[in-house]
Each structure stands twice: as structure tokens, then as C-alpha cells.
Amino acid sequence: MTDDPTLLVKERLTRLLDEGDASDPIAFRGLQYDLGLAWVHFPEGWGGLGLAPNHQGVVDAGLRDTGAPGHRTEHFFGLTMAGPTVVTHGSDELRRRLLRPMFTGEDAWCQLFSEPGAGSDLAGLSCRAVRDGDEWVMTGQKVWNTLAHIASRGMLVARTDADAPKHKGLTYFALDMHAPGVEVRPLRQITGEAEFNEVYLTEVRVPDADRIGDVGEGWRVSMTTLSNERTTIGGGVGPPGRGTGAIAEAVRIWDEEVVTQTPAAKDRLVQLWIQAEALRLTNIRAAQNRKIGNPGPEGSIAKLMFAQVNMDIYELCVDLLGPGALVDYDYSMRRADQLGLTGPPGSSRKMFLRARANSIEGGTSEIQRNIIGERVLGLPGEPRTDKAVPWKDVPRS
């Protein structure tokens, strides 16, 4: 085995392409996992080679150039959030059960964090988990759960100790979404789609073997999930090519559909192109600076800017379309089968509406500003009078 990490990755990639059966995506991805090319920065034996994350780009580019089978959108949460969480905090037994099918696509994941009474305040959640021998009995409600209707597993945080302060009484679980007592209901959005859901848990029994991290350590485990989520939404994982994404749609509309190209509109387009490019380059630099698998609070910068730039771009798109932006869109109720962060050419009517969620999902822009102020800039934090108070004694509306 070579000591050169780049050469090692290229040798493994050549073996994958030579031996893998591209007609069978699950088997192909299984071999990719076994060769350590799933997440190259993960430890050996768990889908990785223990290398710096930037080596993943060699793998991704090689697979893309050869037309190898890629992941579908429902695999997003497993690849970008559940995987790093399980490998960082899970036991070897849990890693063995969850990581490979997560990467092959046999298991799709969703996130079960937010609740009706605890959206931005994750530590205030009330979903209850009571220990019963080797199982936990879950009761509660989660909301804004993207693609939960097609997920087989859920990243669930529940309260296991109401006598502890709210950050200390949480525990993290890998929930079987098909377990008795789990009910997924659609939430229809302004676009007409039901990409989001609410999930009801009624005395759902979860094996203690599906617990991720120690009892009471759910907050710390959740921070791994959330930091990866913010970086991913912001574009820090696999930054897009120059001039692609939402800004490509704005340029297409300008070239193909705008009847009167005014200087003011052209200036808006150029300014947004510059902002999109600055964000893309920032994400590339952040990705190169990551020497471990879990990003820090700087991911909040990318997430915050992505939300604003994305909304501004799609607002420009509908302005350029003029009255035509008000017609030719189907608002009928339908179940979404993919994420709605960006859209294909011709989807700006939908994306103008969908982009409103960018400043809320994955942590609100207000929360991101707090994180940046406190953890990046070192500014004093806001007063937290309930930090040391037992959760059961914290006033709730």
C-alpha cells in the first residue's frame, strides 16, 4: 500500500471502476464503501481511509466523469448529516449496522429535531423518552421534517431527564420510521408541494442499541449534526461549478426570456452573480481548510449567506419574467420526492416561493447570526436565565 494519500485514492478508485457493477447501484456503492471511498475522511473500516476531506473530490470527480451511479436526493440527510454523526458518536456496533446501508442507499434518513413548541430552541424540546429495560418508549411530536415520508430512519433527539437543565437532559437516537406508533403527516407548503412533514410518536419503542452517544449527551451529538447541516446547506460539501445553481437560472432568463434588458436589471444580475461566486469560493476555501470530518461554527456564515443570496436571485428571476411569473405554475397538492434548495431550468416560479424557507430550515438566519457573533467573533452571548434550571421548571407557553 502506498504512503501517498492521493495515489492511494486513485488506486482505490481505479479498482472500484474496474470491479464495480455500475448497473447495480447498491452493489456499486457497497464496494465503494468497502474500499474506503464513501467518506474518505472517516476512519478505515467505516467507509473511509482516515484522510483529509479534500481527497473526496478526487473520488467524486472520477465517478462523475465515468457516469457511475450517483445518490438520489433522498440520501442527502444520511450522507451529509447522519453519517458524520454516527461515525463520531456511535459505537462500533452501531457504525457496523448503520453506515454501510446509509451509503449504499438502502436506508434513507430524515431529521427529527424541531417541535411545535421548540423550533429555534432545540434544547427546549419536550418529546419524551422513558427507559424500559433495553428499550425506550417515545411520545411526542416533531415538525418540519423534510422527506420524512420516504425515510426509513430518523435522527431523533428526545428528553430523557426532565430534572436536568434543558441542554443536559437530551439523548440522541436512530429511529426506525416504520416502527409501530410512528405516524407521518404531510405539511402542504406555499408551492403546493408537501416536502415537509409532521411526525407523531405514540409510545414508540426504540431499542437502546439504537442510541447514538451516551444518555444525556444528545445536545453534544446534535451539534455534530447541525454543524454539518449548516455547512451542507451553505454549499460547503461539494461546492457547485462557477456560474451554476440559482444564478444560472437568472442568467438563462436574461438571455432567453427578457424582452427589455434595462441597465438597472443588468446591474442587479451582475451584483448577484458576484455574490454567488464569492459564496462559492468561500465554500471551497472552507472545505479545503477542514482537516477533520466535522465543521465548526463557520458553517453558519455559508448557511446565512446562501439563504439571502438564493432568495435575492429568485426574486430577480420573477422580476425579469414580469407578469409571466404569475402564470403557468401548478399549485396543486403533491408529495415531493426531492429537496427544494435549488431547482432546474424553468423552475424560478416555484423557487421564488420555496426559497422563503431557506432562512428558516437548518436553523434560522437569526440563530446563525447569534452563532457567528458568539463563536466566531467572540462577542458576549445573550443572557440565558434558564441555562441551569431543571427543564421541568422552565416556564413554557
Measured distance between the N- and C-terminal CA atoms of the chain, rounded to whole angstroms: 61
Set 195, 229, 249, 361: catalytic member: 229
- Which residue from 207, 132, 206, 217 is spatially nearest to 172, judged by alpha carbons? 217
Known active-site residue 229: yes
- Which residue from 387, 318, 374 is spatially nearest to 350, judged by alpha carbons? 318
- Helix, strand, coil fractions of the chain, as percent rounded to 5: 45, 15, 35
Question: What type of residue sits at position 282?
Answer: T
Q: Which SS3 state, helix, strand or coil, does residue 10 take?
A: helix
How far is the CA of 181 from the CAs of 170, 200, 397, in angstroms?
A: 21, 8, 27
**DSSP of 298-346:** THHHHHHHHHHHHHHHHHHHHHHHGGGGGSS-----EE--S--SS--TT
Q: Which SS3 state, helix, strand or coil, does residue 85 take?
A: helix
Which helix (H) or strand (E) element contains residue 94? helix 92-104
**Between the CA atoms of 19, 24, 26 and 29, what dihedral angle is there, to the nearest 10 degrees?**
30
Q: Which residues are catalytic?
A: 229
